[in-house]
Amino acid sequence: MSAQMKNLYKLQKKDFSKAGAVLANAFQNDPFWRALLEDINIDQKRSFYEGSVRYGYRYGEVYATSDHLEGITVWVPSDHADMTFWRAIRRKTWGQVFHFDICPKRSFGCCKTWGVCGDT
């Protein structure tokens, strides 16, 4: 581990909810995520990002600048980059696909992969 990595805070399960809120706030004005998540409320957005943190915690690494979570990074190795149906279920991230009704509107990748949309 490099000297810079030692200065980072490794997220714990207790941090998931706050991390979701931090990421929702950080990406609220990003054009891509704003368009993709435009029809869901702030609590659902927080849950969406929390799911990404959970996935990264299980299959990769999740760090922050400190335990105050001012900045967060989620690293997932390439062999786990695709969030398969069963990986999503295992990490409680299935809400990213089914709860938010993203697929029917935008042909999100899950539609064709998991066949959950009417337009597959």
Question: Mean pLDDT of successive 10-residue segments in the chain (120 residues)?
Answer: 78 96 93 86 88 90 95 91 74 52 45 43
At residue 117, the pLDDT reads: 44
The total of other beta-carbon atoms located within 10 Å of residue 58's CB is 15
Q: What is the pLDDT of residue 93?
A: 54
Q: What does the pLDDT read at residue 1?
A: 54
pTM of the predicted structure, to 2 decimals: 0.70
- Residue 60 confidence (pLDDT): 93
Q: Can you tell me the distance from the alpha carbon of 115 to that of 59, in angstroms, rounded to the nearest whole number?
A: 24
- Among residues 58, 15, 24, which one has the least CA distance to residue 44? 24
pLDDT for res 38: 83
CB atoms within 10 A of CB 95: 14
What pLDDT sits at residue 39? 82
pLDDT of residue 48: 85
